[in-house]
């Protein structure tokens, strides 16, 4: 079995092509909009994912919540070589972003032979990233530093006005980068190592540039 794991980066748009018809489709957060009006298999999201961006129930087969993927992680900790580690410490060990937590859920719960990534290049506009860091990283957890707009989309459109778009849908914050490039690279390398121990290959299907080369590039 092959899984197509889709995020909100611009390479996610490739998922609309017919060449991925033989994959189980897992959408993280806003990536479900790739299939808006159609169907996909799993929608994965954290507990604080904004209600305004939830998909219709009929668009997907199963919802995977924070409780679901953390339960799978705790149950599969020993398979990953994390004996005696659980809860928040285990989440920190694998990488405390939705990308890593959903990725490990796929490994442990679906056990595919291959996971193909789209929309996870982490190729954020550097000027946008610099602005975001300088402004005390507005994000969901801090209510975007007390946003005044009525919707998150309205806030995003205002806040990132004038910057080249680096996501196809969502609030647009470079949220994983609050931990820095070194952190992201080390957790990607760890995920690759753990996947291999489970007999799973992780590849990047993206045709776009990525500052990370941990996952082998496979252009279909």
Q: Which tens digits make up the pLDDT trace of 159-213? A: 999 999 899 888 899 999 999 999 999 999 999 999 999 999 999 999 999 999 9
Going by C-alpha positions, the residue among 170, 168, 172, 175 that lies closest to residue 52 is: 170
Does residue 45 surpass a pLDDT of 90? Answer: yes
> Is residue 58 predicted with pLDDT exceeding 90?
no
| pLDDT reading at 77 higher than 90 | yes
Q: Report how far Cα 77 is from the mean position of its chain's Cα atoms.
A: 20
Q: What 3-state class would DSSP assign to 202?
A: strand
The C-alpha atoms of residue 92 and residue 148 are separated, in whole angstroms, by 32
Would you give the end-to-end CA distance of the chain in angstroms? 16
CA distance 60 to 23: 14
Q: Give me the pLDDT at residue 219, please.
A: 86
């Amino acid at each position: 079995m092959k899984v197509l794991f889709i995020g909100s980066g611009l390479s996610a748009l490739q998922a609309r092509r017919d060449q991925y018809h033989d994959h189980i489709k897992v959408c993280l957060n806003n990536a479900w909009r790739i299939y808006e009006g159609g169907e996909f298999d799993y929608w994965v999201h954290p507990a604080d994912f904004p209600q305004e961006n939830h998909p219709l129930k009929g668009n997907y087969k199963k919802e995977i919540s924070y409780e679901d993927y953390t339960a799978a992680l705790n149950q599969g900790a020993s398979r990953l070589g994390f004996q005696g580690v659980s809860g928040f410490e285990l989440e920190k060990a694998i990488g405390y972003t939705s990308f890593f937590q959903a990725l490990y859920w796929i490994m442990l719960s679906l056990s595919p032979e291959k996971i193909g990534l789209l929309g996870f290049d982490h190729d954020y506009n550097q000027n946008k990233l610099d602005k975001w860091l300088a402004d005390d990283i507005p994000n969901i957890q801090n209510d975007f530093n007390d946003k005044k707009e009525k919707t998150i989309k309205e806030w995003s459109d205002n806040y990132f006005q004038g910057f080249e778009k680096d996501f196809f849908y969502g609030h647009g914050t470079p949220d994983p980068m609050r931990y820095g490039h070194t952190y992201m690279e080390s957790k990607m390398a760890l995920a690759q190592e753990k996947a291999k121990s489970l007999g799973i290959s992780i590849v990047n299907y993206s045709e776009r540039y990525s500052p990370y080369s941990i996952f082998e590039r496979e252009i279909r």
